[in-house]
Chain A
Amino acid sequence: MPEGILCNKTPVDTKEQLDAVLADKGGKKYYDEMKQLDVDVEKLKNTLQASFKSRMKTWLEMCAHCGLCGDSCFLYLANRKDPTQVPSYKILSTLGKIVKNNGNVDNAHMRYCMDVAWSKCTCCNRCGSFCPYGIDMGIMFGYLRGLCFSQGFVPWELKIGSGMHRIFKAQMDVTPEDWVETCEWMAEEQQDEWPGLEIPVDKEGADILYTCNAREPKHYPEDIAEAAILFHIAGENWTVPSDGWEQTCLTLFAGDWAGCKMQVENVYSAIERLKPKRVLGTECGHAHRCMVIEGPYWTGRQDGRPPKPYLHYTEWVAEALRTGKIKIDPAKKIKEPVTLQDSCNYIRNFGLKDVTREIMSYLVEPGYFVEMTPNKEHNFCCGGGGGINGIGMYRQQRNVGLKVKRDQILATGCKLIISPCHNCWDAIRDLEEVYELGIKWTFLKPLLIKMAIIPEHLKPKEEEGEEE
């Protein structure tokens, strides 16, 4: 059977296709069909010819087989230094073979590539900073994922994720109507405590256009409320777009290059339409990577920058604290040992290490902030990046991988972890579930709301009757 009904080379583009794949619980039939899926060698060859260029070609060709990348990989360490987890081995035995054979590989090899690309690499790019030649295997695995996706060899959940983006322009089935309704609902909910709080939708020329992660409207609407409260406290002139609000791209995890472009264009067009001064994203790593770091390239922006300055949430928080828009009550500063999870996507791969530490200096009583080792751009992946958090088939591998972060956290002696990234937050939550360390983990938003000094004029007015 060349193509399956569920597992095939065609991305999910319609609601019917999506429902059919979703109905196959756990992807049982999907993965069965994958075993029969033909490899389109000609297409693979053409893709290589068009997109496999000197940077990666040189990386694969020049790799000195020195094995220095081994210890840089958290999955290698977590798997008791299993040599098959050495990054160079992983990439040479997968993409390396495809390139060597000029695309002439079979179904078994493509399924092997899928397993390695999604369960043995989270594309954290740490190995790239430990290779003397600067060979970045995370980038090559991202590329390999693209090849796998184009041939239909993609984990079930990510086939769905890519389909969601293609249909809903969001990683979950949240329509613009659902989104706007959630915003209205959240604004209303807050009126008792925060009279006058608004979540302005589609306001033109605002100072800040806010974009978020679909799981916020879908599962954690309070996150949107928290963002609104903080903007309210800071007195920001802000807005959200009714369309183009979803900042994440599961298409990136899936290797769906066309889907990535589509998603970024959706958000960029909201920026063009609403002309804000700046754009601000939520506490998410890969969303930032998509819209700010890679997005400009996917959409062909030659300056490599988004259409407007596009900040990560931590950049805005640091600025708000620095300029006094948000003031922290000194009595409420954190007075217990606390550590910080450096997200690969905006620390290693964007350089916000100083900004996050600046935030810590405002929130944590001196002497209580403990750095992880290693940290900053050399920090280990949380263990849940690159999509592995959401792939049922690789749950076991993911849980083993969490051990490195677990040990890093234990070594700090902290029970509280600040994690301004959805993916890291999830991974640390699951880490607690699996290993029961007795830790707490948090985004910045709830912390800030708890610790901020509320300006008098924003406080709810006492009932008149009570005063007299």
Chain B
Amino acid sequence: MFYNFITGPLLWLSFGIFFIGLLVRIVNYVRGLDWQADRVAYRAHLGLGIKGALQSIVHWLVPFWSVGWRAKPLYTIIFFVFHIGLVVTPLFLEGHMVILKERWGVSWPTIPMGLADTLTIGVMVSAVCIAIRRIALPEVRIVTTFYDYFLLLITVAPFASGFLTVYQAPNPWAIKDFWLYAHILSGEFLLMAIPFTKLFHVVGYFLSRGQLGMDFGIKRGYKAKGGFAW
């Protein structure tokens, strides 16, 4: 009964909030752009703008492609291990695909369990590294707040609990399927939290990087051959 509820209506609700929330974010962002206040002639030079936006986005999506990533090699590795695991594991996990097929009748190729495990461990280990980095480096510590740890925690929770589910770990309260429930609920909580927290950067990244790319493509770097060398 409880299982049916959390994998039924609650799942729908979480996806609804996730998608609609992010859509609202995108619409609000674009509507709030102002050519004169931002000082970027978005419309007048749309072609240059799109080119600049794509350059800016792509350079930072690929490890070590941007000057910024190359300046911080260790962090870049941690960052990409974390993010690749976060995106790839849930989308291509065999266990998720079984449910998806059963409920919606759609499916796509999955990744082997061994890879899924590796990616999940990658997420957890890199999250620990990110937390340690927050404490160890003075330049990160000064900007870190409790909220940053909270976000890290709710992001990793579905992965840790999912991992424990797969390996049928015991739980202190001896509740049946405890880790499975924990996994589903923490996953749904994460989905619902994304549009309302800094985690909205799942779309915000593309908007913000794209905007700065347009700025440099249209105005600040249009005289440079090949655009701004991100």
Contact = CB atoms under 8 A, between A and B. Distances in A.
Given A132-B60, A294-B39, A304 B224 contact: no
A159 interface: no
Interface in B42-91: 43-45, 56, 60, 67-68, 71-72, 75, 79
A86 B208 CA distance: 20
A294 B137 CA distance: 37
B34, B137, B139 pick with most chain A CB within 10 angstroms: B139
Contacts, number: 156
A62 interface: yes
A72 B139 CA distance: 12
Query: Of residues A58, A134, A303, A305, which shows the largest number of chain B Cβ atoms within 10 Å of its Cβ?
Result: A134
B148 interface: yes
B209 interface: yes
Contact of A351 (B71, B143, B200, B222): B222
A86 B142 contact: yes
B29 interface: yes
B212 A128 contact: yes
Interface stretch (A48-56, A104-112, A223-231, A263-271): A48-56
A136 B211 CA distance: 11
A133 B41 contact: no
A131 B68 contact: yes
B198 A64 contact: yes
Contacts of A55: 32-34, 37-38, 208, 211
B28 interface: yes
Given A53-B32, A81-B139, A83-B142, A68 B72 contact: yes
Contacts of A54: 28-33
B140 interface: yes
Interface string B209-227: 1011101101111111101
B229 interface: yes
Contacts of B41: 296-297, 302-305
Interface in A116-137: 125, 128-136
B35 A76 contact: no
B200 A134 contact: no
Contact of B224 (A57, A65, A125, A352): A352
A interface SS class: helix
Q: How large is the interface on B (under 10, 10 to 19, 20 to 34, 35 or more residues)?
A: 35 or more
A271 to B, nearest CB: 19
Given A58-B29, A58-B207, A304-B45, A67 B139 contact: yes
A94 B18 CA distance: 32
A236 interface: no
Contact of B223 (A88, A130, A302, A350): A350
A354 B228 CA distance: 12
B37 A66 contact: no
B37 A65 contact: no
A362 interface: no
Interface in B78-117: 79
A102 interface: no
Contacts of A368: none
A270 to B, nearest CB: 22
A88 B67 CA distance: 19
A293 B215 CA distance: 11
A303 B35 CA distance: 10
Given A58-B29, A304-B40, A65 B204 contact: no
A194 interface: no
B9 interface: no
Contacts of A70: 139
A133 B201 contact: yes
Interface of A: 51, 53-55, 57-59, 61-68, 70-72, 76, 81, 83-84, 86, 88-89, 92, 125, 128-136, 293-294, 296-298, 300, 302-305, 348-355, 376-378
7 contacts: A54-B32, A63-B198, A86-B139, A351-B216, A351-B220, A351-B228, A354-B224
Given A54-B29, A65-B144, A66-B140, 5 more contacts: A53-B38, A55-B211, A350-B223, A376-B229, A377-B228
